[in-house]
A and B are shown apart, each in its own frame.
Chain A
C-alpha cells in the first residue's frame, strides 16, 4: 500500500512566480492536511481538507495561499507570487475517513522543499 505521495520533492521558483504542490493521500484516506516547516522550527498546521471541502484553514496565510482537494485527483497547495519567506518544506498528511479506528492518525508524505530565489 503506497504511502502519501508528494510531488515535486524539490521546487525552485523565482520571486513572483506561482508554486503548485501536489499531494496524493494514502489509498482509502479521505482527509488531507498541509503543514509548513521553516528552518529550525516544528511543523505548523496550514489547512485541513476533505474531498471538495475545506474544514479548517486557520493556519493559512490570508493572501496568496490556497488549497483544494477535488473529487478526483490530488490535493493541491497553491502559492501565488512567491516571496523568499515562502521557502520552506511543505508536508502533506492524510488520515482515514470518519468512523475508522485510526481516524486521528495522520500519515505524512516526504514533503516538498520549496526554494524561492
Chain B
C-alpha cells in the first residue's frame, strides 16, 4: 500500500526566508502528486500538481515543487515567504495501475507553517 510522509509537522520562519517542505511517498509505480494548502479558517486549495513531463512544476502564489523519481520525493519550495503564507500544507499522492482507484488520494499528515512578520 502506498503511504505519504511529510518531514516536518511545524515550521516557523520569518518573512522573506526561504521555505522547503519535504514529502516522500512509498510506491514504485506511476503516481500523480499534489500539494494542497489550507489557510486558517478556509478549505483545502490545490497549490500545484504533477502528472507527467517537466519534473519542476510551478503553482500559485510563487510556489514550486520538484519531483525526483529516484528519491520518491516531491518537495515544495518558495524562495521568499510572506506572512500570508501562514497555513497548513498537505502533500498528496494517487497511484495509477494499482488495485486502489485513482480517486483515492493519500495525504501526508500536514505541515503547519507559521510565518512571523
Give the Cβ gap from A90 to chain B, nearest Cβ, in Å: 12
Please measure, in the bound complex, the distance between the C-alpha atom of A111 and the C-alpha atom of B108, giving whole angstroms.
18
8 A Cβ contacts from B19-60 to A: 32, 36, 42-46, 49, 51
Please measure, in the bound complex, the distance between the C-alpha atom of A110 and the C-alpha atom of B45, giving whole angstroms.
10
Taking a contact as CB atoms under 8 Å apart, the answer to whether A59 and B110 are in contact is no
Is B101 part of the contact surface with A, judged by Cβ < 8 Å? Answer: yes
Could you say which residues of chain B place their CB within 8 Å of the CB of A45? 104-106
Q: Which of A33, A41, A95, A108 has the most CB of B within 10 A?
A: A108
Is B114 part of the contact surface with A, judged by Cβ < 8 Å? Answer: no
- Give the total of B residues in contact with A, Cβ under 8 Å: 25
Is B103 part of the contact surface with A, judged by Cβ < 8 Å? Answer: yes
- Give the total of A residues in contact with B, Cβ under 8 Å: 27
Taking a contact as CB atoms under 8 Å apart, the answer to whether A58 and B103 are in contact is no
- Inter-chain contact total with CB atoms closer than 8 Å: 61
Is A25 part of the contact surface with B, judged by Cβ < 8 Å? Answer: no
Please measure, in the bound complex, the distance between the C-alpha atom of A3 and the C-alpha atom of B103, giving whole angstroms.
19
Which chain A residue lies CB-closest to B101?
A: A56
Give the Cβ gap from B105 to chain A, nearest Cβ, in Å: 6
Please measure, in the bound complex, the distance between the C-alpha atom of A58 and the C-alpha atom of B22, giving whole angstroms.
27
Question: Can you list 19 pairs linking A and B with CB atoms under 8 Å apart?
Answer: A31-B103, A43-B90, A44-B107, A45-B104, A48-B103, A48-B104, A55-B101, A55-B103, A56-B104, A58-B104, A91-B44, A95-B103, A104-B94, A104-B102, A106-B46, A106-B105, A108-B43, A109-B43, A110-B43
Known: A45-B105, A105-B46, A108-B43. 11 other contacts (CB 8 A): A40-B109, A41-B109, A42-B109, A43-B90, A43-B92, A45-B106, A58-B104, A104-B94, A106-B105, A107-B46, A110-B42
A-B pairs, top 6 by smallest CB distance, nearest first, are A56-B101, A48-B103, A42-B107, A108-B44, A110-B43, A43-B107
